[in-house]
Amino acid sequence: MGRLTLWRFISEQWQTIKPVEKVDLTGKTVIITGGNAGLGFEAAKHFATMNPGRLIIACRSEEKGKAALSKLSQDTGYTKAEIWTLDLTRFASVREFADRFEREGGRLDILVENAGIIGSTSYEKTEDGYVSILQTNVISPSLHTLLLLPYMIKTAEEHKTKPRIVQVSSDVHYRAMGKKNKKFADQSNIIDALSSLEYHNQTPLNSHYFDTKLLNVFFVRALQARLAKYPSIIIDAVNPGYCYSGFRSSLSGARAFIDHLMEMLVALSTEEGGRQLVWAAVGGSGSEEKLKGGYVSFGKVVEPSDFSISEEGQALEEKYWNQQLDILKGVDPRVKQITLRSLRLCANIEDGLAQRRCLLEDVHPQRAIIILVALEMAYDATLGALEIGILIAGVLFGVITAQVYIHHQCFPNESIWIKHGMVDLMWMIELGHTICVFHAIYFYTVTHFGDKDVIEVLPLSVGAAVVLHGLVLLIVQGFFTYRIALFTGKPHVIPALSGILMLCQALAVYTLSAQLITVATKSLKDFMDKWEWLMFTVLILRAIADVLISGSLVYHLVHSRDGAYGSTVAIVDKLILWSIETGIVTSMLGILSIIFYLTLKNTYAWLALLMLLPKVFSNAMLANMNSRVKLRNMSRSEVDSTGVFALGAFAAVPFGPVSVDVRTEIESDARASTYETSWTENASSTEHADQKKPELTV
């Protein structure tokens, strides 16, 4: 049973304390908060004897820290210890510590959250608006731990080690959440309730410290449960025992007398208490699974309080975790990214229903229904729209695959650069694009299922999809711009303008993809605030290029039609019709993406259209390539060539050697007669110079 009886307390305090656990810390980094005095200093001395690569002692006073360094060096001979300033009563100080570690820290193997206070008889709030004991003992250490967590994960992955986080708690947590205290814990916002003046005045003063130690246990268990993706990270709470320490020097009156009496009767030495912190940080080799989320007391994992493991206690733990996490996300935006990338939404979640209960367990049932409806509405406009777009993109990829198969079957003698350099390469790019977009929906609906904040970031795969999207545009528009240049002849005004638009598109798209990967994966809002103009520029450039190429093609086909007769006109008319139809599809889709972006930028509808665009481009191109079979069978005309392609926005036109046999009746100036006319695109002379011949200049 998780109870602290008087007999258990006395027997633990009077037992023979095991020698300090010793391991080799060469090359490893250790951080201990409050390491300039008391238990923290004794633990730091023990760590120093294990030769860590770096030993960082975090404390409020730099002056006291330097004095501690001098004594530590004198007692142990270790000279590599460092003093870093950390004031847990200020969130700004915690952020500054994390910023410094990002610049100078490197690896991190052991983090001991030891610093804390016992509280005061006066009601004192920090500059951040929380009662001092709650912020110092609970909220700031949690922020500190979460901001340093990525470095421990990175250390575990790169060095194949098992980093540990140790949160100093106490056996007094067994006496936490008495009847009066529970009244405040049952309020909708537990953090605000425990920071209120009513809580300070209406509950026993020593119980404030007890409650913070229970919240330490809650944090350890909640964080460990959410680190399933990183099984090598170990987090535990430790009871150092009742020790001689300056920790209780602020007590006065009867409390000070009772404390002094207990110290004489049962207290451990400060050094013996420091051993407990060290054991929690390096001990228990071979039994690491038991340590995960465990409560360590005197060198072994024991059961925490009955309340903490009861259904009521577990519900309070989940509520406390969610509310504290919301606070910390507001304190430092990095917390949101860390939780999205590294943590599961809830502990022990097996199904979607449990996920939603986890989100709403602290909400009144009637309000829970309203919140669920609101979440569904938000998901309809974001994940719902994106999912529909991605599913359609999957169907279109299936059509692309069928088009590629048809091309290989119908045109086995196609030139290698077209068959493999265009058709097969396009299929491979589209395969990669499809994998990326489906990973995006997996990221939202599986990896971070139920997390209401996940829609505020984009996965890395979206940035990769944009890179592949750009490749499709370059290949398709580049090829058709080249064809227009061949067909129209000099001066190459339209092709040159199209080439400039393509170059601008390429620069914009790949700049955009880089920012999607580096910024949008952390905050979509930050990305949109900074790079919205570039997104809009990409959409505009693509629409202009598409309309320009399609319009140019239609113009030149109409011009070519004026000199043709009979079934040649039918072929040209068919090419014009295909140009208009496919041009309208791609151009309208591009224009719609602009409209959606301008009017629905708070949804993912515009993003869904972006997922579809490369699929539409590729399908239209392949469909027109395969349409050569129809042209060959049209009326009395035969198109026998190495290819008919869609230009610009994918209008079908012949390319390569083209032979067209047409029987026409032509009235010349001298006579009217029936004869057979034959010409080729490469013809340089004729057999009948006196006859008027049509020209097909496409």
Residue 249, both tokens: 């020097």
CB burial string 486-524: b at 16+ within 10 A, e below: ebbeeeeebbebbbebbebbbebbeebbebbbebbbbbb
Contact 68, 33 (CB under 8 A): no
Instruction: Cite the active site residues.
Output: 209
Q: What is the end-to-end Cα distance of the chain in Å, rounded?
A: 89
Would you list the DSSP string of 101-129?
HHHHT----EEEE-------SS--B-TTS
Q: Angle between the 311-331 and 140-159 helix axes, to the nearest 10 degrees?
A: 90
Beta strand pairing status for 301-302 and 295-297? antiparallel
Q: Where are the beta strands (DSSP E) in 287-357?
A: 295-297, 301-302
**681 Cβ neighbours under 8 A, 6+ residues apart:** 654, 657, 658, 696
Reduced to 3 states (helix: H, G, I; strand: E, B; else coil), residue 284 is: coil
Give all strands (DSSP E) within 262-334, no chain letters.
Answer: 295-297, 301-302
Residues in contact with 483: Cβ distance below 8 Å, sequence separation at least 6, in sequence order: 645, 647, 653, 655
Distance of alpha carbon 545 from alpha carbon 541, whole angstroms: 6
Phi, psi of 564 (to 5 degrees): -105, 160
Residue 12 token pair: 């633990």
Taking phi over 0 as left and psi of -120 to 50 as alpha, with beta for the rest, 377 belongs to alpha
Q: Extract the tokens encoding 205.
A: 């003063």
Say how many CA atoms lie within 13 Å of 289 toward its Cβ.
Answer: 1
174: number of Cβ within 10 Å? 22
Tokens (6 digits) for 35: 């390491």
Q: Find tokens 């809580």 and name the residue.
A: 199
Residue 304 φ/ψ, nearest 5 degrees? -75, -170
SS3 665: strand
Joined together, the tokens standing for residue 499 give 């080439």
Distance CA 405, CA 676 (A): 38
For CA atoms 200, 202, 208, 212, give the dihedral sign: negative
Per the CB < 8 A criterion, the answer to whether 233 and 328 are in contact is no
Angle formed at CA 384 by CA 378 and CA 385, multiple of 5 degrees:
105
What letter represents residue 580's amino acid?
Answer: I
Rounded-to-5 percentages of helix, strand, coil across the chain: 60, 10, 30
Q: Count helices and strands (H / E) in the chain.
A: 27, 12
Cα–Cα distance, 239 to 242 (Å, whole number): 9
The Cα 440–Cα 383 span in angstroms is 10
Beta bridge pairs of residue 673: 666
